[in-house]
Amino acid sequence: MSEGKKKVDNRRTIDPAALAVIDKNTANGQIETAYERYVNMQPQCNFGRTGVCCRICLQGPCRITKKSSKGICGAHGYTIVARNLIRAISGGTGAHADHSRHMLYALMEVLEGKAPDYSVEDSEKLKRVAGKLGLEVEGKEDNELLEAVLQQAISDFSKVTTEPCKWLETNVVPERMEVFDRCNIQPRSVHTTIAETMGATHMGVDADPVNLIFQGLKTSLCDYICMHIGTDLSDILFGTPKPVYTEANFGVIDPEMVNIAVHGHNPLLSEMIVRVARDMKEEAEAAGAKGVKCMGICCTGNEVLMRQGVPVLTNFLSQELPMMTGAMDAMVVDVQCIMPGVKAVSECSNTRIVTTMAHSKIPGSYHVDFSEEHAVAKAREVVNLAIEAYKERQGNEIDIPDVKNKVTAGFSLEAIEDVLSAVNADEPIKVITDAVDSGQLRGVALFAGCNNLRVTHDNSQITIMKELAKNNVLMVATGCAAGSAAKLGLLNAEAVEKYAGEGLKEFLDTLNEANKDKLKEKLPLIFHMGSCVDNTRAYDLTTALARQWDVDVPKVPFVASAPEAMSEKAVSIGSWCVTLGVPTHVGVVPEVTGSALVDGVALQIAEDVYGGYFMWEEDPEKAVEKILAALDERAWKLKVHKQTAEKYETELSTGW
Ligand code: NFS
Ligand code: SF4
């Protein structure tokens, strides 16, 4: 390295397993990963970074500068920033719609008998979903009910009339629907709204930033709708998660097994691979292995963790690294959050990258054209590719960091309610509201979202989680945030001993005591609620808390935090959290700061209208203060109003 040149810092992670692999790789001077590419990418463009670069028409790019305060067409900075933002929301919603639509297609095929390897695994969930949607459940066969539920989902995806979308109307408190009516952001349907947003942001259409943002929030509600549909349909097809016990981080790789990482988002494929892998022990043994071991990366990893207890290999940012251990035989990917960079790394490590979806390919990779009609056969094809790779890697150097942590996961809302019901069978959620009312808990926080190299990998999530634990906040987590917690040992009972404050410890102890005959192990510090799509499970918890207190969501001491947000999906999720009344911390400042107006709407005006608002804060210590302040304010108000309501014998929601 030449003198004076800035030292390359590619150690932007606190995960010891990732660090071990990075350091060894650096020493050998070999393979480039995201950690190096991030360094090489600096400095990044500040126009893009602040949202003031417009490439919507072919006259662009137009950038807002002191010299040119408007685009060539005359678009102000606020229009450009707002357009870019809501296109990101639309992109995130499009990705979730893609995921959930695929679940919908699969269930339609199940119904028509065209997907023989799948069946309705959880008919109780089917009944619950149908009941919630207001469908007649009594005396109905599964198939009849499923058809009715799917028709409803198709309608929410595509109807062009103005009546409310069922998945929105039946899953949020009525006060929320009134706000959406008042602000004119009731969506017609998921697909129409995505199309509307793309139309509204075409060159020369909507120039009004507030109007644009409201269209973006409408789109984010569609994100919520299709995510909820995705979770409900996945539960119907594969079962509603219950507590599972496993491990996380690179130490789960077993050099004597055929190791397969499932990576991406869609449980249709990963569930099948996990099932088939269990049945292919003999084939693996014939190749000299002890068996086939599946492990998960990113959100499809969370899907099979939640339902099958499959170990967590790693989360988004470190997805390239496990291959460098020399013991990964295949990485099977479907859609979303898959770095194309995995291919180059795989070439050095004998790992086979297998793409499986027609619209998600990586040049030079194996492609197994996955289909619901032949799911098991296709999954076998994938596992066979891994077995072949296992044979080829014999004699290669293997070096697996000995890092792994115990994990308890599987906390669907149903599973959480089940745990709570051991204390209060009639009103399980009251166990939480009572604990907040008494001051034992300060509130509830959801950790969601990705990793982002703008901050140190895993550091923001883990720092904030530990601090909130100390401050007696009940925590739930999804996605790659839950992945950080899993890898670094926060998803187990030992973490409660290490990090929980007195109130949180007492709260969890009470639950442990009441469930001691039911749960195999004591409860973890943080409840893993699933993949990113399952953020709707966490919002269902918010709704349940609101109903229990009998208030609208903006009064509930519940905060969402995406400390390391990265993707467009994170932008759309954050936006619906705000629209649905939740204070939402984002640990990476999004591309809106180029317009004080748009930034101000996100940070302040949103609260006046929707009750939720954003908090941008990259410093994890300061984020903790802001999150606690948001929880305390709401908990304090609740208490005052509760006392007043009791004193005057009025309803809690009256006059608030
Ligand atoms: Ni959600 Fe982020 Fe991707 Fe999952 Fe992970 S990066 S927005 S958490 S895997 S979707
Ligand atoms: Fe420039 Fe306007 Fe075209 Fe955007 S839409 S690239 S601001 S001319």
pLDDT at res. 6? 53
Q: Which of 368, 392, 416 is the last residue of a domain?
A: 392
- Read off the pLDDT of residues 39-63 as tens digits, 9 standing for 90 and up: 999 999 999 999 999 999 999 999 9
Hey, what are 208's tokens? Answer: 């009004």
- In 521-557, which positions are buried (b, 16+ CB within 10 angstroms) versus exposed (e)? ebbbbbbbbbbbbbbbbbbbbbbbbbebbebbbbbbb
Distance from the CA of 428 to the center of ligand 1, in angstroms?
Answer: 30
Cβ of 501 less than 6 Å from ligand 2: no
Q: Beta-strand (E) ranges in 563-631?
A: 583-586, 613-616
Query: Mutual orientation of helices 77-111 and 190-200 as an angle, nearest 10°?
Result: 160
Judge whether residue 3 has pLDDT over 50.
no
Contact predicate 209/81, CB 8 Å = yes
Judge whether residue 515 has pLDDT over 50.
yes
Ligand nearest to the CA of 447: 1
Q: Are residues 198 and 298 in the same domain?
A: no
- Read off the pLDDT of residues 181-217 as tens digits, 9 standing for 90 and up: 999 999 999 999 999 999 999 999 999 999 999 999 9
Q: Are residues 533 and 642 in the same domain?
A: yes
pLDDT at res. 4? 43
Hey, what are 376's tokens? Answer: 């098991």
Contact predicate 455/564, CB 8 Å = yes
Q: Are residues 19 and 57 in the same domain?
A: yes
In a domain, 244, yes or no: no
In a domain, 398, yes or no: no
Q: Are residues 577 and 532 in the same domain?
A: yes
pLDDT at res. 656? 57
Judge whether residue 1 has pLDDT over 50.
no
pLDDT at res. 48? 96
- Read off the pLDDT of residues 455-472 as tens digits, 9 standing for 90 and up: 999 999 999 999 999 999
**Does residue 164 have a cis bond before it (omega within 30 degrees)?**
no
Domain of 192, CATH number, reads: 1.20.1270.30
Considering only CA atoms, which residue is closest to atom 2 of ligand 2? 73
Cβ of 52 less than 6 Å from ligand 2: no
Other CB atoms closer than 10 Å to residue 206's CB: what's the count? 17
Q: Based on C-alpha coordinates, what's the Rg of the chain?
A: 24
Considering only CA atoms, which residue is closest to atom 6 of ligand 2? 60
Residue 381 burial class via C-beta count within 10 angstroms: exposed 0-12, middle 13-18, buried 19 and up? middle
Long-range contacts of 640-645 (CB under 8 A, 24+ apart): 641/555, 642/437
CA neighbor of 313 nearest in space, from 404, 244, 382, 410? 404
What is the DSSP secondary structure assignment for residue 324, as one 8-state letter?
Answer: G
Higher pLDDT, 61 or 29: 61
- In 152-186, which positions are buried (b, 16+ CB within 10 angstroms) versus exposed (e)? bbeebbebeeeeebbbbbebbbebbeebbeeeebb
Host domain of residue 14: 3-63
Considering only CA atoms, which residue is closest to atom 6 of ligand 1? 450
What is the DSSP secondary structure assignment for residue 249, as one 8-state letter?
Answer: S
Q: List, in order, residues 6 or more apart from 20 with CB less than 8 Å away.
A: 401, 403
Q: Are residues 210 and 270 in the same domain?
A: no
Please count the structural domains in the chain: 4
Distance from the CA of 328 to the center of ligand 1, in angstroms?
Answer: 22
Bridge partners (DSSP) of residue 240 are none
Q: How far apart are CA 611 and CA 605, in angstroms?
A: 9
Q: What mean pLDDT is predicted for residues 116-129?
A: 97
Considering only CA atoms, which residue is closest to atom 2 of ligand 1? 450
Cβ of 62 less than 6 Å from ligand 2: yes
Q: Are residues 18 and 89 in the same domain?
A: no
Q: What mean pLDDT is predicted for residues 530-554?
A: 97
pLDDT at res. 29? 80
Q: Are residues 256 and 320 in the same domain?
A: yes
For a substitution probing ligand 2, which of 53, 59, 84 has the most ligand atoms within 8 Å of its CB? 59
Distance from the CA of 202 to the center of ligand 2, in angstroms?
Answer: 10
User: What 3-state DSSP class applies to 370?
Assistant: coil
Q: How far apart are CA 458 and CA 485, in angstroms?
A: 8
Contact predicate 590/571, CB 8 Å = yes
- Read off the pLDDT of residues 298-338 as tens digits, 9 standing for 90 and up: 999 999 999 999 999 999 999 999 999 999 999 999 999 99
Which helix (H) or strand (E) element contains residue 526?
strand 526-530
Judge whether residue 7 has pLDDT over 70.
no
Considering only CA atoms, which residue is closest to atom 3 of ligand 1? 337
Q: Are residues 491 and 609 in the same domain?
A: yes
Q: Are residues 388 and 416 in the same domain?
A: no
**Does residue 61 have a cis bond before it (omega within 30 degrees)?**
yes
For a substitution probing ligand 2, which of 52, 56, 64 has the most ligand atoms within 8 Å of its CB? 56
When pLDDT is cut at 50, 70 and 90, the band that residue 646 belongs to is confident
In a domain, 243, yes or no: no
Q: How far apart are CA 196 and CA 60, in angstroms?
A: 22
Q: Are residues 34 and 163 in the same domain?
A: no
Cβ of 203 less than 6 Å from ligand 2: yes
Distance from the CA of 590 to the center of ligand 2, in angstroms?
Answer: 21
Q: List, in order, residues 6 or more apart from 54 with CB less than 8 Å away.
A: 60, 61, 62, 63, 71, 75, 80, 83, 84
Q: Counting atoms of ligand 1 from 1, which one is nearest the CA of 573?
A: 7
Q: Which of 182, 207, 238 is the last residue of a domain?
A: 238
Higher pLDDT, 621 or 642: 621
Q: What mean pLDDT is predicted for residues 597-610?
A: 94
Cβ of 298 less than 6 Å from ligand 1: yes
Judge whether residue 5 has pLDDT over 80.
no
In a domain, 324, yes or no: yes
Query: Mutual orientation of helices 502-514 and 430-437 as an angle, nearest 10°?
Result: 150
Hey, what are 147's tokens? Answer: 């058809």
In a domain, 43, yes or no: yes
Judge whether residue 2 has pLDDT over 50.
no
Q: Counting atoms of ligand 1 from 1, which one is nearest the CA of 569?
A: 7
Contact predicate 460/564, CB 8 Å = yes
Q: Are residues 577 and 644 in the same domain?
A: yes
When pLDDT is cut at 50, 70 and 90, the band that residue 533 belongs to is very high
Cβ of 570 less than 6 Å from ligand 1: yes
Mean pLDDT value across the chain: 96
For a substitution probing ligand 1, which of 223, 298, 478, 531 has the most ligand atoms within 8 Å of its CB? 298
In a domain, 475, yes or no: yes
- Read off the pLDDT of residues 130-158 as tens digits, 9 standing for 90 and up: 999 999 999 999 999 999 999 999 999 99
When pLDDT is cut at 50, 70 and 90, the band that residue 87 belongs to is very high
In a domain, 364, yes or no: yes
For a substitution probing ligand 2, which of 72, 79, 87 has the most ligand atoms within 8 Å of its CB? 72
In a domain, 17, yes or no: yes
Q: Are residues 544 and 575 in the same domain?
A: yes
Considering only CA atoms, which residue is closest to atom 9 of ligand 1? 298
- Read off the pLDDT of residues 333-383 as tens digits, 9 standing for 90 and up: 999 999 999 999 999 889 999 999 999 999 999 999 999 999 999 999 999
